Structure 1
Amino acid sequence: MSNNCALCNTELTSMDTLLGANKLSDGNVLCNKCLNNASNINDELLYKLNTFSIDDINEMLNTAKTETVQTLAVTGQNIPAAIDSGSRQISKEVYKRRYQKIKHELEILNANLSVFTKGEIKELPYLIAEDEKIIAITDAQFVNTLAAGILVATPMRLISVSKAMFGAAIINDYPNETIKAISFVTDPRSPIIKLHLDERVVEFECFMDKDDAEQFYDKIKAIYNNPKEQSPKQIDTVSKGVSVSSEEVFNKLEKLGKLRENGILTDAEFAEQKKKLLEQLK
């Protein structure tokens, strides 16, 4: 694959290759700017780009320069009135508008997603409206599964999207009110993000970039976790030398025990914080 746009010849950025790779049927690649310009003529390019060649794109651009608006309308008659993904159906205009908004938000977030999440990203315009902002995103798949996936956070919910190469997208929506807490299990290869729901715990494995997964957790933990539950550092009590009543220490020990039972603290983290609390009694 060339490292330059097939139309303007500028060097491709990570965002150009991230959002669906912008790859044509003949192996050429477009930058996001050229894709936007071409999609203004034929917005079918946004969701069927891999069926067009660079010759097709050039022909569209040349036609746009020489033909009338009426002729252009005729050429677009075969484009479907709406884009359908399973049971979700939105107009072409809405899809394009949401896609541009999402792309802009991912650029601001400096999203570090793998190339395997192209299909999942293309599903997002069906799921996230213009008035709902993406505040964090990371590669994350259900544990013990092979399909790639992403975990997306908005102010209202968490959304998991996974899509096998030839299968339909699997969407799971977790509204904020259904999430009791979230936790992060460190691992040198594939850390785990846990969603603690009312009746179960959902686990996502982050095998692509463990640092990115931890940054995702750091961005959203304050939304779902009580301040006492956000991290072992925040569970720490007052500094040494300040007197603390026995009742207060025992209450905090009880809370630590519940955090360990819920899987929010590991045994090692629990032991460390318990030791610090007991030192307050000396």
Structure 2
Amino acid sequence: MEAEAVVRAETAPMRRGTGGPARVTRIVEMRGEAPLLPRITATPGPGAEVVFVGGAAGPLGGDTLALRIEVGPGARLTVRTAAAAVVLPGTGEPARQSVEIVVADGGELEWLPEPTVVAAGARYESTLKLTLGRATRLLMHDTLILGRAAEAPGDAVVRWDITAEGRPLLRQQSAYGPAGHPGWQGPAGLTGGTVVASELRFPDIPGTTPRLPSAVGRAVCELAGGGLLTTVVATDALTATRLLAPAPPPARERCQSITPAREARRTPARA
């Protein structure tokens, strides 16, 4: 199977009399083929959101899927998937997926797909090419699960090629599974884990989000181009999600922040 999908977002003036911001993001082009079927969802604010729903099982071995996302100048777009994708064996050839994303000057993109599960015996090759213009913002999540529950892992090769303002921001390629390098499960690889999750923020502006420290199972890397890459390895998706999420404040701090507000409501106003 070969399938292609395209989503293009641009800004447009707000209709008169509706209030709100002067410009909002509109989806000006959206088309897809099973299993890449995009749908527009309602979202508050001036941005737009598109969710991809699975129109067929897979991807299967031998499938070739291509996705292109274009975010126009000043536009704000969030892209999600409705459910995890399960890569299954097919013809014996790899299932290939290529994603090309262009974010023009001043654009913002949140790329938040659900996990990709590579079943036993499956082969998966994924490439992401992302080009960021000037003054852009990016939040990107990626989760790869090697094997279903109580199942041997499949093979996966994942490559990212990201450019920001005309300069390389991140170039990396990782291979996992029995066909990967001999030490992929060792201390220099997944250390026995089966879930790899990554979060990329660009730019990394200190103070805007809590900064996670590197720890067991989590590597935090400041990129020379101004981004922040966090990668975690775990034995299950729930643990990987927790490792990526900032820890909540201690209970004592939460109580201290709540108590003054409660006391203010109880204290009667003075004339």
Question: Which TM-score bucket, shorter chain as reference?
Answer: under 0.3
Q: Which has the higher strand share?
A: 2
Larger Rg: 1
Q: Which has the higher helix share?
A: 1
Kindly indicate whether structure 1 or structure 2 has the higher relative contact order, using CA contacts under 8 Å at least 6 residues apart.
2
